[in-house]
Chains A and B, each alone.
Chain A
Amino acid sequence: MKTYDAIVIGSGMSGGWAAKELTELGLQTLVLEAGRPIVPEKDYAEHVPMWEMKFRGMGDRQHVSKDQPIQQQCYACDEMASKFFVNDLENPYTTPDDKPFSWIRGRQVGGRSIMWGRQVYRWSDLDFEANVREGIGVDWPIRYADIAPWYDHVERFVGISGKAEGLPQLPDGQFLKPMPLNCGEQLVADAVARAWPGERVVTIGRCAVLTEAHNGRAACHYCGPCHRGCITRSYFSSVNATLPAAQATGRLTLRPYSVVQSVLYDRKAGRATGVRIIDAQTKHAIEFKARIVFLCASTIESARILLLSGIANSSGQVGKNLMDHIMGGGAGGRIDGPADRDTIGNRPNGIYVPRFRNIGKGKSSFLRGYGFQGGAGRSDWGRGAEQTGFGAEFKKSLRKPGPWGFSFYGFGEMLPDEKNVVEIDKTKVDAWGIPVARISCAYGENEKALVHDMSITAAEMLAEAGAHDINPYTSNNPPGLVIHEMGTARMGKDPKTSVLNAHNQCWDVPNLFVTDGACMASTACQNPSITYMALTARAAAYAVDAMKRNEL
């Protein structure tokens, strides 16, 4: 049987990067993906006009509520993109009755990198030092200086549009030209800059969508529904960028329909020897051998695989400290944007307000902080359903855009807590006979305090901008729905309290690396994908160096 140099489990955001880096560094690499292959020319559906869709984009509601009751909670699980989300009946998991968790998943080549939100923000030492400063969880074994060159490395390949702001809490990166703020957003940005100079900044989102041709991929054409795919490969995904790069080396073997059951382990040698899968189509078990294994199956899946394998857990920390971000706080309102102006095209990006709480002077009653996303726009014909009137004049009035509105919605940090766990539920199996995950996770008081504060600061910024009908809100969402799961195999400085070392290498199994969200020792409040990418590339370089030195 062939022994690969490396096996990568998962082909999503992290797995795609592992595949690219390992193959480019010379390794014969097998990528195992649980789901089906994706052929962009056949599977992408972003240019299907509304009238070609049976339910005009609103989705096959009856069908989806039966087969995808969890997945349908994600905005992107729409009529054209629901196929990129798992069937919940085939992929069950359990939770305690009083702790719902919404696990949004994509099982196909590319994983969730196909439907991701594409927002890209670096971490700073404010984030890497937070745990040790406050005595929460474990200290990160790395600092910004360790990861900064790897942010540069991945950003140069991905192509990030964004504006440099020189903020210490949100380091600038390798940016392509930024997308513009629209005139409604400029109005709010100016008002916020006047009221909170140097403290609060409304900037354009930093996103993995190209504003200019980059590395053989075309600039965005502003069609809008990125989550349905992108035939011009203008946004970054594994399918659009990293997997083709890995393929180009001639060293990639990509095997879809490969549901990983466990990592094979040689107890005597203390090393992983390969991976055991269930073929999703035949349901037969197959084993593959490799010198090193990169586990990139996503936070909860990776914990599930480690627990099912019974390895890398001498610390007892595998599956613990599950985190997500928290959302649900913000405010909206009408603003006095120019009545004679509107936008053209669908910008796949909004505004961003970097964290401004608990940095420098001034402490809040809660720990850490949050950032805002959002944006301005004019209402469309949809407002007519809420208006009185009908007939020719009514129809004519809806031809013109309605009032300008603005919305801020916050994304906050979640603290690590050993009580939030992923375990194996021995009483239930998935469609491939593999025991499922049992997830027990709840937000704590600090997260709830963040959401409350979001509604206040969002409303006060709108008030500064002269907004009308300001509507501050808070809402309760189950964890999971921000789709930023992290923490179930944390990095650390001590093998007694962490699963991975500073290079995402299992303390207990030196040739096994975990580089997806599972590795995160805290969440910060920034969208996490670019950090997974940078950590994956860094770990791949470390692993290949170690192999060359015959240390692995």
Chain B
Amino acid sequence: MNRREMLLLLAGTATLPDQLLAMGRAVHKRAHAGTLRALTPHQNETVATIAELILPKTDTPGARDAGVPAFIDVMLAEWVGDEERKMFTAGLADVDTRARAMFAKDFVACSAEQQTQLLTTLDAELARLRDTKADTSKSFLGGMKWLTLTGYYTSEVGATSELNYRVVPGRYEPCYPLDQ
């Protein structure tokens, strides 16, 4: 639905359609990135590198371009509890410990292949937890994946380029053929 359609839809109501979509934006300024609040620059770069490995730039933008690292920093600073934050930063430290053991470098200094190899190991460990119905809530990668996906698909870039998200769909189709 475009703006004109929206105006037509609203014709006859006593509201102020011009303000319709602008309204929320005026009130709810988006959180600006720039200053890190929960993470150190090194931790932030590690987060950004892993996020981009999970959802890389393809024919659509990747996690970095979608502002996922800034979102994760906000979530760590203001949303998660102290215990969860500690678990997350301990997980980041563990990634570096493993990288140094395997490749004698911090994770961010590793080659893309080395990074992929390490992340594959972590992903297999997470899969084992799932397969054995063990507790995955303490898994660093489990939390990192959830944060990355949430940050990406709810970003303007992710929701509009990768998904077909529309604030106002304008109609309900109960059984619509998917584009092949």
Contacts and interface: CB of A to CB of B under 8 A. Distances in A.
Contact of B153 (A60, A217, A381): A381
B56 A395 contact: yes
A391 B124 CA distance: 14
Nearest to B175: A183
A49 interface: yes
A89 interface: no
Contacts of B163: 381, 399
B30 A388 contact: no
A342 B176 contact: yes
Contacts of A179: 172
Top 7 A-B pairs, shortest CB-CB distance: A48-B24, A183-B175, A345-B169, A345-B172, A344-B173, A182-B174, A50-B154
Interface in A341-355: 341-347
Given A40-B15, A221-B1, A52 B172 contact: no
A180 B172 contact: yes
A44 B1 CA distance: 20
Contacts of A390: 53-55, 119, 123, 145
Interface of B: 1, 6, 9-10, 12-16, 19-21, 23-25, 27-28, 30-31, 53-56, 58, 71, 74-75, 78-81, 116, 119, 123-124, 126-127, 130, 142, 145-146, 149-151, 153-156, 159, 162-163, 165, 167-178, 180
22 contacts: A45-B27, A48-B24, A51-B156, A54-B28, A180-B172, A183-B175, A213-B12, A216-B14, A218-B12, A222-B171, A222-B172, A233-B15, A344-B172, A345-B172, A380-B153, A381-B163, A382-B150, A384-B149, A385-B142, A388-B124, A395-B56, A398-B149
B145 A392 contact: no
Given A41-B23, A53-B28, A401-B178, A343 B172 contact: yes
B170 A341 contact: no
B53 A395 contact: no
A183 B178 CA distance: 13
Contacts of A338: 175
B101 to A, nearest CB: 21
Interface in A200-247: 213, 216-223, 231-233
A341 B178 contact: yes
A56 interface: yes
B78 A221 contact: no
B58 A345 contact: no
A54 B173 CA distance: 30
Most A CB within 10 A of own CB, among B6, B12, B79: B79
Nearest to B57: A392
Nearest to B58: A392
Contacts of B74: 54-55
A194 interface: no
A396 interface: yes
Contacts of B24: 45, 47-49, 52
Given A392-B58, A395-B55, A49 B167 contact: yes
B36 to A, nearest CB: 16
B175 to A, nearest CB: 4
Contacts of B178: 340-342, 400-401
B10 to A, nearest CB: 6
Contacts of B15: 40-41, 231-233
Interface string A31-47: 00000000011101101
Contact of B54 (A40, A41, A391, A401): A391
Nearest to B147: A385
A221 B173 CA distance: 12
B153 to A, nearest CB: 5
A183 B12 CA distance: 33
A196 interface: no
A13 B173 CA distance: 31
Interface string A168-208: 00000000000111110110000000000000000000000
B149 to A, nearest CB: 5
B173 A381 contact: no
Given A45-B27, A56-B151, A217-B13, A345 B170 contact: yes
Contacts of A365: none
A394 B54 contact: yes
Given A51-B155, A61-B79, A384-B145, A56 B169 contact: no
A57 interface: yes
Given A221-B169, A222-B170, A395 B13 contact: no
B69 to A, nearest CB: 15
Contacts of A381: 149, 153, 163
Contact of B162 (A220, A221, A399): A399
Interface in A382-432: 382, 384-386, 388-392, 394-396, 398-401
Contacts of A57: 154
A58 interface: yes
A62 B77 CA distance: 10
Contact of B13 (A61, A216, A222): A216
A347 B1 CA distance: 16
B25 A52 contact: yes
Contacts of A385: 142, 145-146, 149-150
Contacts of B150: 56, 58, 382, 385
B176 A343 contact: yes
A263 to B, nearest CB: 35
Contacts of B146: 385
A48 B10 contact: no
Given A231-B15, A388-B127, A221 B175 contact: no
A346 B169 contact: yes
A185 B172 CA distance: 14
Contacts of B71: 56
